[in-house]
Structure 1
Amino acid sequence: MSDTFDPPLQAVVDDVAQALAEDIGIGDATAALLPDEADDAYLLCKEDAVVCGRPWFDACHRALDPEVAIEWHVREGQRVTAGTVLATLHGRSRALVSAERASLNFMQTLSATATSTAAHVDAVQGTRARILDTRKTIPGLRQAQKYAVRVGGGSNHRMGLYDAVMLKENHIRAAGSLTAAAEAARAMHPALPLIVEVESLEQLREALDVGCDRILVDDFPAAMRRQAVAITAAHARPVPLEVSGGVDLTGLRAIAEDGVDCISIGALTKHVRAIDMSLKLGPAPVGPG
């Protein structure tokens, strides 16, 4: 996989500044016990993973030691096995240990999202379905986690409430009908994508007739989902169909094979189990990995 991803540079700066501020505060009391001299360190991945978070890791260490040398042995987005040395560092020992936890937190969390995303992307390989994330992200880390989804091979849904109009049950109810809600959305936000969530096949037909950029079928049973695919394909103006709700890795392939275009999965960013990594002072071990 390529390492030519587009990290959100201002988010990296802001995320790292906040992480270091909350961890170091007025100063690292323990690191002050170390001699402030040059030392080596290495970043070890202890389980199979998709590597993600290099920009945040680098920024953590360079914020405390601008002269630190970081040599990466893997690409962003590369799949690695347990025991792989991801990077070696050479810099001031106090700065290395002070930046350790914040840099690891970013690497472990973002690699977790990238690894989970890659597993879901693998499950739908060969179908037309794309794996999307949601807004169910860790507060303050939305741009970072959505970057990790891209690194894992997935695609981003809307970034927030500002870059797409998404009509759900409450919006439709307040407007009086799906058609009225869609027409109002188009009039008020003509430049924004319009996504409509439907709860029945009748609403699906209405959404197709009124026109939108994507239709989300939420919690449709399998037979009803296949009907939705057929109805959409037969329409004069078919639009992409998205499935959401109750999606897990076990049933993912069957959903994709029904012919839907997108599957959005909150678990990619919500159910995060950090990848086990460690940063150790000293020269990296020599051998496999």
Structure 2
Amino acid sequence: MTYTWWTQASVDALLAEDAPYGDLTTESLALTGRKARLTMAMRADATLCGVELARDLFVTAGAEADVLAATGTRAPAGETILMAQGTAGPIFRAWKVAQTLVEYLSGIATLTADIVTAARAVSPDIAVVTTRKTLPGAKAQMIAAIRAGGAFPHRLGLSETLLLFPEHQAFLTDPAAGIATLRRAAPEKKVVVEVKTLDEVDAVLPAHPDVLQCEKMTPGDIAEVARRVAARAPGTKVAAAGGVNLANAAAYAVAGAHVLVTSAPYWAKPADVKVVISPA
């Protein structure tokens, strides 16, 4: 999966943030005009994200760069993923921004891919989606990373999905009334209802929500929810949410969840990128 989620303005801003007044060290050493070459390689297996943006950072800085392994690729340890060449000034200017960006985004992509693999090993049709708990201001980057890992966003924000929380229901007469109101107001949208207990499941099932988002339920609870849904509202999908991670994704899939809703990839450990810069 590769798509352009950045703009030239965002590339310029990233470079300006790190070197707003030039590279003091490289310029003081009079190395700016020397020929240089840079390579990026993974120190451990990783699903890549951000390599194309890294290339654009080097090109904008004034170097030439080539992507050798694209976003979405599972790159083995030691594989070179990007090469850049030109003069040392642009190479050093873009180096750390490009490296760090690839590390953060590839860390998210790698954990996402691992969760997807674990869940689909036992339930091939299960969907893995991520919450809107992205770092404010970094949504585009983080969504690109989870997509590179094979997931999709559950909610990009408040403006495009219907999710009836218990906090909403506190203002309503009953869940069924809320579902009916949402369907009248936005008939083209699916209605997702968050539930936290089996009693809440029983209360909402007669209204046949499109999706039950089961918050912080155990795999055992999800299995019981799936049983009740199959018997009373077979068109409703069961989504496990809250605390879903690599360690329990397979258990939730076995329990009968149709969807896994997770925030775990957003807090993934960054991947480790090895950079080598040498005179050309």
Instruction: Tell me the TM-score normalised to structure 2 length.
Output: 0.89
Distance change (3 Å), C-alpha of 1:40 and 1:230: same
> 1:12, 1:144 within 8 Å by CA — same for their partners in 2?
no
Shift of 1:159: 0.8
Deviations 1:38-86 (A, max 9, x none): 3221112222211111232122112211xx3322222322222222211
* Worse-matched range after superposition: 250-259 or 103-112: 250-259
- The reply to whether residue 75 of structure 1 matches residue 64 of structure 2 is no
Shift of 1:157: 0.9
Residue type at the aligned position of 1:94: G
Q: What residue in structure 1 maps to residue 275 of structure 2?
A: 279
Residue type at the aligned position of 1:120: I
Shift of 1:281: 1.6
**2: distance between equivalents of 1:193 and 1:104?**
40
Aligned pair count reads: 276
Q: Which runs of 5+ in 2 are unaligned?
A: none
**1: distance between equivalents of 2:179 and 2:127?**
25
Q: What residue in structure 2 maps to residue 287 of structure 1?
A: none
Q: What residue in structure 2 maps to residue 102 of structure 1?
A: 97
- The reply to whether residue 181 of structure 1 matches residue 157 of structure 2 is no
**2: distance between equivalents of 1:59 and 1:29?**
22
> 2:52, 2:67 within 8 Å by CA — same for their partners in 1?
no
Q: What residue in structure 2 maps to residue 28 of structure 1?
A: 23
> 1:129, 1:259 within 8 Å by CA — same for their partners in 2?
no
**2: distance between equivalents of 1:242 and 1:236?**
14
Residue type at the aligned position of 1:162: S
Q: What residue in structure 2 maps to residue 224 of structure 1?
A: 221
> 1:12, 1:59 within 8 Å by CA — same for their partners in 2?
no
Q: What residue in structure 2 maps to residue 54 of structure 1?
A: 51
**Could you tell me the percent identity over the aligned residues?**
24
DSSP-derived class of the 1:175 partner: coil
**2: distance between equivalents of 1:95 and 1:219?**
49
DSSP-derived class of the 2:133 partner: coil
Shift of 1:283: 7.3
- The reply to whether residue 132 of structure 1 matches residue 129 of structure 2 is yes
* Aligned 1:84-95 pairs, distance under 5 A: 84-95=79-90
Q: What residue in structure 2 maps to residue 16 of structure 1?
A: 11
* Aligned 1:234-253 pairs, distance under 5 A: 234-253=231-250
**1: distance between equivalents of 2:108 and 2:273?**
14
Q: Which runs of 5+ in 1 are unaligned?
A: 285-289
> 1:15, 1:141 within 8 Å by CA — same for their partners in 2?
no
Distance change (3 Å), C-alpha of 1:243 and 1:171: same
**1: distance between equivalents of 2:10 and 2:105?**
13
> 1:51, 1:76 within 8 Å by CA — same for their partners in 2?
yes
- The reply to whether residue 42 of structure 1 matches residue 47 of structure 2 is no
DSSP-derived class of the 1:195 partner: strand
Q: What residue in structure 1 maps to residue 118 of structure 2?
A: 123
Residue type at the aligned position of 1:198: V
Shift of 1:152: 0.9
**2: distance between equivalents of 1:229 and 1:43?**
46
* Worse-matched range after superposition: 251-260 or 180-189: 180-189
**1: distance between equivalents of 2:33 and 2:150?**
41
Runs of 4+ more than 6 Å apart: none
DSSP-derived class of the 1:103 partner: helix
**1: distance between equivalents of 2:49 and 2:15?**
19
> 1:208, 1:238 within 8 Å by CA — same for their partners in 2?
no
Distance change (3 Å), C-alpha of 1:245 and 1:229: same
Instruction: Tell me the TM-score normalised to structure 1 length.
Output: 0.87
* Worse-matched range after superposition: 251-260 or 33-42: 33-42
> 2:208, 2:235 within 8 Å by CA — same for their partners in 1?
no
Shift of 1:221: 3.1
RMSD: 2.2
**2: distance between equivalents of 1:283 and 1:233?**
66
